[in-house]
A and B are shown apart, each in its own frame.
Chain A
Amino acid sequence: MFRRTLTSSLAVALCASTAIAQDLPQAGSDYFTAAQGVLAERVNAQPNTNVAKNVILFVVDGMGINTNFGIRVFDGQQKGMLGEEHNLPHDLYPNSAIIKTFNINAQTPDSAPTAGAMNTGVKQVFNTINMADTVIHDDCSTEAPLTLLSEMLSEAGKSVGVVSTARITHATGAAVYAKTANRNWENNAPEGCVDIATQLVDQMEAGVVDIALGGGARSFAPEGTEIEVGAGNRPDDVNLIERASEMGAELVYTAEQLAAADMSAPVLGLFTASDMNYEHDRPEGEPSIADMTAAAIEKLQANEDGFYLMVEPGRVDHASHGGNAHRTFTDGVAFAEALALADEMTDDEDTLIIVTGDHEHAIVFNGYCGRGTPITGLCMDVASGQVEHSGEPVLAADGKPYTVVGFGNGAGSVLVEQEDGTYSGERPELTQEEAMDPDYLQQALIPASSESHSPVDVGLWAKGPWAHLFGGTMDQEMIFHVMHHATLEAEAAE
């Protein structure tokens, strides 16, 4: 399938009048004509300088360019295509940029300061959230909080929402509303500092956060206290669920309750005790990320002054930490479905949609594989005579096949701990059936209990008001500046 184009009559006219197309032997190729259509689209593109009434920021945790490629091909193959020709919704957005992700003191970033940069406009310190550059990680006395985009937009009358498939107190989601010297202070903080769960309820009470949906209910109730989805684990005796309820918030715990929610009051949805399930494992009754995104937009659209919504497909990252590409990609497809729904529910004329990752993983894609090679399976050889792969696995120098996906480090390491504590091993024999099993861990090199993030750049895709401000290679904090410009600065200029 070729790129879908929004070819206008003007674009058709442009194509027809293009001399190049009349003389070249390749002019009849579908690739050629599709590219000509895109060219016409680009020639005619006009910047959208409307005020952004709404902003939706999708932060796909752990999705750099590599992971985006894997999700794209996986999704395409699930839809019956060879895969490579497929486009995820955001692949077709008119504006994009390459984003640098480093933290003030880390070449390889973590999700707390990266999301913090998007929400404050400045780089931040490893493992901290929304603190000035003087903060010392894990030192409560050094906390120096920054002002958040959510606070500015709320002050201007907009509503704010946060959705995550991880715990709602986890780093990326927390960066919308919290400020902390340690991202792990989710349910407890040293005296003088405030834990992240308490900060969420504080921000709901202050009118900054209007809807928060995700996992992580355990941080909202005292240890051992039975709640709808497990038990609390707070070391203090504070029951934040009761507090939220007493201040008028609507609490929901299942997909059914979310769908039936009144939505007139602030909404706190806590669907699991810890992280929500991977899409592959998601039980009936637990909302999908699309369900949560749609519910949040529906709630936020009630405000005629607009909204800011951050959506975090959080477990793309966790699956890669576990070295399991199947769950990385299935959660990625679930994200794409949520994005498509968000796009359908909003208007490009007044809604800025941004898609990015906070960092990449140590995920690699091996070659040389033929077209349509199953992206979670063995690398199949290029076939002579086109188009699809030959069906014969490519063999490495050790005579064994290998998967397209590999990891630089992690639990799938081919070096295994021996009884004497040393590490050694060889690549095991591998069948296509084993490789494509949903629980298979792709081979990795460096042994580690968890696969790591990577410091390489990530992609950003955007559409809507002022999306054209993204371009080239940018630092992550530019995301804040564009969102701020598209909303508050653009409105002030009118």
Chain B
Amino acid sequence: MQSLQIQSLTKQYKGFLLDNVTFTVPRGAVVGLIGENGAGKSTILGSVLGTVHPNGGSVLLDGRQIGELSLGEKQKIAFVQDTACLPVELSVRMMDKVFSHIFLKWNSERFFALCKKFSLPEKKAVKKFSKGMLMKTAIAVALSYESELLVLDEPTSGLDPVVRDEILEMVYDYMQGGDKAVLISSHITSDLEKICDIIVYVHEGKVLFDEEKDALLERFVQFSCEKAALRELDPNCVERVLYREYGADVLVPKQCLPQGFSHKGVSLDEIMLFYAKGERL
């Protein structure tokens, strides 16, 4: 069953076009949105959360337009923004009081339990927290009301590996709680490799691919060769070539791997690099 459907989403800014983006976030899946800075990831997530007004297309939650949902239905989407967006003058205790009046299904017990788990002081103003603590607070808020879809915009950006790992653990925990779904954007693709089932790669406002992570990583291999050796390759079999000073790195579908080249697998980072900076043969 589809939790979130994004259909032909279009948004035009000066010098940028999010062009006809279509993909779905099925229930029970973690979907990773990858792409370079400025590729359109935050615009897509903003359209889901209602902070960006698209020029065309639609965003459907369980088959209904996001804009037509009631407050209770809209709050089935939990979210963590890239800049937390919390009132940082408040302490965790004050936030509990405020959010208990904003979210219809707020769970104070769960909120304080999460804050305790993250070692967040209850009485200290959030503005005095470190960046990692601030992001943990935002995640504690997002996980303290009943939701069915969790949207995270660059939640691990700028954080140390320990905090990043804790945040990814929270995503795991969230998925244990029933028929839920997660849409997470990040340019730290190693994080997404750990937790995602499906990868949507956005490049210059367009979806380049949308497929299961394991299948994607299985689909391609890479090898290095002299530039002269490129002439021997079938252009139809080469996905992208990255020209280097010493030669070239070549991304090919596994079944097209030419004889005689020693190859290795590719990570999401490398696939992104090939598509962002590589050329067709």
Decide whether A and B assemble into one complex: no
Residues of A bordering B, CB below 8 Å: none
Residues of B bordering A, CB below 8 Å: none
